[in-house]
Amino acid sequence: MDLYAAPRLYAQLFGAREHDVALYRWLAQGLPEGEPVLELGVGSGRVALALAADGVPVIGVDRAVPMLEALASQARVLGVGDRLQTLHADIQALELPRRFSLISFPFNGLAHADDAAALHAVLSAVARHLAEGGVFAFDVLRLAPHHLDSEHHTPYFEHPETGVPCRVIERARYHAAIQRLEVSVELRPMRGSQPNEQWTLSLRLFEPPELTRALSAVGLRVTNQVDLGDSDALICKAK
């Protein structure tokens, strides 16, 4: 199962996450009226919809078409469709005809850059779209003891497609040699004959010196760091 092809399920699993949204809303408040935010990996729009509700235009980029379609639909339902533009694109190859004063990449999105070349390509795309004096803000997951090898059970979860109550089993294992966190999530229906659903996310975790070097290589530097509890948000500008 591809989690990014199931936007309602994705939103049900992660939609309650709020502690990072406040940071991105605060950053967007400093923009001139009408100037858009470029959000990379916009997904189900958890952050983008909050900004649009504040009156901030957002251009949201993602390569998962089902996510973008669901986001556009939700934006219309919420009455912010005129402030949210979705764009299907690979971030590494992104070429837009303008630059932005604020580019964001929320919810550990950079973890999908599998290797040094992919990381460089993503950050290069950021650098070529960042306006002079602009800000690039992103957050990265902080390795915690429970990531090393754990299993966590959520006792009740109502499936957004079927309405059937499910148990959620989340397993995590960190592979230090390759700096990769494997997270598998399984949904087990508590009634009926529906089969179990399972998917695995493979996330690259970064050491701070590695990120500093990669940012520097494209002309960016970290100016501030914010503790988001399970993650660190990095605020960057051009050197």
Strand partners, 234: 138, 225
Contact 43, 107 (CB under 8 A): yes
Contact 171, 201 (CB under 8 A): no
Average pLDDT over residues 42-47: 96
115-147: buried (b, 16+ CB within 10 Å) or exposed (e) per residue? eeeebebbbbbbbebbeeebbbbbbbbebeeeb
Contact 166, 187 (CB under 8 A): yes
pLDDT of 216 > 90? The answer is: yes
**pLDDT tens-digit profile of 65-121?**
999 999 999 999 999 999 999 999 999 999 999 999 999 999 999 999 999 999 999
Contact 23, 226 (CB under 8 A): yes
Strand partners, 38: 59, 103
| Domain definitions of the chain by residue range | 3-142+207-238, 145-204
Q: At 208, is the pLDDT very low, low, confident or very high (cuts 50, 70, 90)? A: very high
Average pLDDT over residues 182-199: 91
What CATH class is the domain 3-142+207-238? alpha beta
**pLDDT tens-digit profile of 124-151?**
999 999 999 999 999 999 988 888 888 9
- What pLDDT, on the 0 to 100 scale, is given for residue 16? 80
Taking the chain, what is the end-to-end CA distance rounded to the nearest angstrom? 42
Cα separation, 64 vs 42, in Å, equals 9
For residue 90, how many C-alpha atoms fall within 13 Å in the half-sphere facing its CB?
A: 6
Cα separation, 66 vs 90, in Å, equals 15
Q: At 4, is the pLDDT very low, low, confident or very high (cuts 50, 70, 90)? A: very high
Average pLDDT over residues 26-52: 97
Residue 15, helix vs strand vs coil: coil
pLDDT of 1 > 70? The answer is: no
List, in order, residues 6 or more apart from 143 with CB less than 8 Å away: 174, 181, 205
DSSP 8-state secondary structure symbol assigned to residue 93? G
pLDDT of 157 > 90? The answer is: no
Which secondary-structure segment (H or E) carries 226?
Answer: strand 220-227
The closest of 128, 89, 91 to 112, measured between CA atoms, is 91
Cα separation, 150 vs 168, in Å, equals 14
Structural Rg of the chain based on CA atoms: 18
